[in-house]
């Protein structure tokens, strides 16, 4: 599925060189057996059709009555374990993996592994080609060492990360289709209102205009749907890879396990390249409508309702859909090592990190958003705002926004370390917001208000009622969001539709404020008065208190894009950690 055929070889010849996937063959055979479809494997090779009555565990083949008798008599196979098809259907026998033989010496089993050449080998290979190698060991020891390595422990998480990325791409396509439908419905409504005002004289123009809309809808939506369906197909492929990986981890002998891991690694590389390519290619489609103002002035000069434009926009947030590169450390046991603590002279309310390491700070006492160098010591530029800035987040590589209490969101851009205001969203806001698939989710009172862009401007389209006054917020990769409630020291996770996922509270978490999420979905929340940071698992249980005994209470925190650094704002100070 993920291997490309060389140009200098025929398909038939190339396919014979591919290794047999014994696990997949066994699973297919088992499924066929359960479905009552299994025929004698040996007879099928001779183009004969006979129903199978038994199963050879050693050969992983079904046998008819005749082949069963000869299988029991032949010297090479008489010691094989044969079971009835009925027992095989009931899964009364374990899955048998075929032995793996040397490519250069087909009659020899793989028994050793050379670490110097990272190659599996038979004993003949060891004697002929690896006599001078210093690190040749048994295939069993090599497989166990690989299984114990951090890379293999996190390999399954990486595959699941691919699935998560693909699901996010699919959700992006679904959201774009919904937004496109919303755009079209809104435009149609505007057309109807305008049509009623201009009477029957505009009937022909109206008809032509609606046909143009229908044409755009017909041309644009199938492209998005095709992209969505392609992503779903890739999800199914990743599911197969995950199942294959899990089966190998549990049952495969060492040689089969290493062989399968090599193939899965090729699949992993393909998926990485595919996802990177899709993140650059994918574009959102929008339909906008500009009313012809002359319609309201003189009907005699009107020749059209207006003009329609379809915008294919690459959202910077689609880059975030990529499964992040898995670092060599596990977030479950990562230890933050304090790199530096810097006195900023600000009341730090929000913190973010740019891709190149620069630190973004919002300060309520100076009413500014500052860009600082990676050490947070030098101010590179600043943006003054009207009001008290709180939570700040980057919504793209160079785009970001800051919540200004009582005013709304200020959207900004950072170029060459200089911060510039781009626009603003007039909205009521408590402390924070999240950005998801082109929409802003802004916390205000006991609601999370959703703002969508229409004709270049953002307007409120709906709201989600929540448990209590929304504090700081964070978006999770599974399309849910978290928010803190400082009044009762709690953290809440809800779906993007408002459905509750979990609630966390603890006597050891006092005055819950800043919250962020790591690459695995673990949640980190600041206890300002308890002076600690809690790490929560995917289901909202306390994993551990990852940091404790701050001199000043932690107020806000964030990871960098590769999850190698953690930045925490503690009143006037900023603490920078490396993750080991």
Confidence at residue 23, expressed as pLDDT on a 0 to 100 scale: 47
Average pLDDT over the chain, rounded to whole?
84
pLDDT of residue 270: 87
What pLDDT does residue 197 have? 72
Task: For each of the domains in the chain, give its residue range(s) and CATH number, in order of start.
Answer: 20-89 (4.10.830), 112-148 (no CATH), 151-321 (no CATH), 336-579 (2.130.10.10)
- CB contact set of 418 (below 8 Å; sequence gap of 6+): 371, 380, 381
Any bridge partners for residue 313, and if so which?
284
Looking at the chain, the whole-number percentage of residues with pLDDT higher than 90 is: 42
Asked if residues 390 and 350 have their Cβ atoms less than 8 Å apart, the reply is yes
- pLDDT given for residue 327 in this prediction: 46
Output the pLDDT for position 326: 44
Which pLDDT score, from 0 to 100, does residue 409 have? 97
CA 236/CA 24 separation, integer angstroms: 15
pLDDT for res 89: 61
Count, residues in the chain:
580
pLDDT for position 441: 96
Please name the helix (run of DSSP H) or strand (run of DSSP E) that holds residue 524, with its range, or none.
Answer: strand 523-527
pLDDT recorded at residue 203? 73
Task: Check if the beta carbon of residue 526 is closer than 8 Å to that of residue 552.
Answer: no
Give me 112's structure tokens.
């050793």
pLDDT in tens, the chain (580 residues): 445 656 666 655 555 555 555 444 555 555 554 555 688 999 999 999 999 999 887 777 889 999 999 999 988 788 788 888 877 666 544 444 456 778 888 888 899 999 898 899 999 999 999 989 999 999 999 988 888 887 777 787 788 888 888 888 888 888 888 888 888 888 888 878 877 776 666 678 778 888 888 898 888 889 889 889 988 988 988 898 889 888 888 888 888 888 888 888 888 888 888 888 888 888 888 888 877 777 666 656 667 777 777 777 665 555 545 554 444 445 667 789 999 999 999 999 999 999 899 999 999 999 999 999 999 999 999 999 999 999 999 998 899 999 999 889 999 999 999 999 999 999 999 999 999 888 999 999 999 999 998 877 899 999 999 988 999 999 987 678 999 999 999 999 999 888 999 999 999 999 999 999 988 889 999 999 999 999 999 899 999 999 998 999 999 999 998 788 999 999 899 999 998 7
Cα dihedral across residues 324, 329, 335, 340: positive or negative: negative
Residues 150-195: pLDDT tens digits? 777 778 778 888 888 888 888 888 888 888 888 888 888 887 887 7
State the greatest distance between any 2 C-alpha atoms of the chain, in Å, as a whole number: 100
pTM assigned to the model? 0.51
Beta-carbon count within 10 A of 369 CB: 27
* Integer Cα distance of 358 and 291 in angstroms: 44
What does the pLDDT read at residue 191?
78
Residue 77 class from Cβ within 10 Å (0-12 exposed, 13-18 middle, 19+ buried)? middle
Check residue 289 and give its pLDDT.
83
The torsion angles phi and psi of 408, rounded to 5 degrees, stand at 135, -145
Q: Each residue of 408-424: b (16+ CB within 10 Å) or e?
A: bbbbbebeeeebeeeeb
């Amino acid at each position: 599925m993920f291997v490309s055929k060389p140009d200098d070889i025929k398909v038939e010849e190339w396919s014979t060189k591919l290794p047999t996937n014994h696990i997949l063959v066994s699973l297919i055979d088992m499924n066929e057996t359960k479905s009552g479809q299994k025929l004698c494997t040996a007879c099928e090779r001779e183009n004969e059709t006979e129903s199978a009555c038994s199963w050879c565990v050693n050969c992983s083949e079904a046998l008819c009555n005749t082949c069963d008798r000869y299988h029991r008599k032949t010297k090479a196979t008489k010691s094989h374990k044969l079971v009835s098809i009925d027992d095989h259907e009931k899964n009364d026998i374990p899955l048998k993996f075929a032995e793996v033989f040397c490519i250069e010496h087909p009659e020899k089993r793989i028994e050793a592994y050379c670490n110097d050449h990272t190659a599996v080998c038979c004993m003949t290979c060891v004697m002929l080609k690896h006599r001078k190698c210093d690190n040749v060991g048994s295939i069993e020891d090599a497989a166990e060492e690989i299984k114990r390595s951090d890379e293999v422990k996190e390999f399954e998480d990486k595959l699941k990360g691919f699935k998560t990325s693909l699901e996010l791409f699919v959700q992006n396509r679904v959201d774009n289709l919904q937004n496109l439908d919303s755009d079209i419905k809104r435009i149609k409504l505007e057309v109807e209102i305008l049509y009623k005002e201009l009477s029957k004289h505009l009937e022909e123009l109206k008809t032509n205009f609606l046909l143009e809309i229908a044409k755009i809808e017909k041309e644009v939506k199938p492209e998005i749907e095709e992209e969505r369906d392609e992503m779903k197909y890739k999800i199914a492929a990743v599911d197969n890879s995950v199942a294959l990986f899990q089966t190998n981890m549990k049952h495969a002998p060492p040689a089969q396990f290493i062989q399968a891991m090599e193939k899965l690694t090729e699949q992993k590389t393909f998926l990485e390249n595919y996802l990177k390519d899709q993140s650059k290619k994918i574009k959102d489609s929008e339909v906008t409508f500009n009313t012809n103002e002359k319609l309201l002035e003189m009907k005699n000069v009107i020749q059209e309702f207006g003009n329609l434009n379809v915008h294919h926009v690459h959202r910077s947030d689609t880059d975030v859909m990529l499964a992040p590169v898995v670092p060599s450390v596990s977030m479950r046991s990562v230890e933050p090592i304090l790199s530096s603590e810097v006195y900023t002279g600000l009341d730090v309310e929000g913190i973010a990190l740019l891709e190149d390491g620069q630190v973004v700070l919002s300060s309520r006492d100076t009413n500014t958003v500052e860009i600082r160098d990676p050490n947070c010591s030098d101010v590179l530029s600043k943006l003054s705002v009207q009001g008290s800035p709180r939570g700040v987040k980057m919504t793209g590589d160079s785009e970001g926004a800051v919540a200004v209490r009582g005013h709304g969101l200020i959207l900004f851009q950072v170029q060459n370390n200089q911060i510039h205001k781009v626009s603003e969203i007039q909205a009521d806001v408590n402390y924070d917001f999240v950005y998801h698939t082109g929409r802003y989710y802004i916390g205000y009172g006991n609601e999370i208000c959703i703002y969508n862009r229409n004709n270049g401007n953002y307007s409120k389209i709906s709201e989600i009622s929540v448990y209590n006054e929304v504090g700081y917020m964070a978006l999770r990769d599974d399309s849910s969001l978290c928010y803190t409630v400082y009044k009762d020291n709690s953290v809440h996770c809800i779906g993007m539709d408002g459905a509750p996922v979990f609630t966390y509270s603890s006597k050891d978490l006092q005055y819950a404020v800043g919250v962020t999420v790591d690459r695995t979905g673990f949640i980190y929340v600041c206890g300002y008065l308890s002076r600690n940071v809690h790490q929560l698992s995917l289901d909202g249980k306390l994993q551990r208190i990852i940091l404790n005994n701050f001199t000043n209470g932690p107020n806000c925190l964030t990871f960098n894009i590769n999850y190698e650094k953690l930045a925490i704002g503690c009143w006037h100070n900023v603490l920078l950690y490396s993750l080991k």
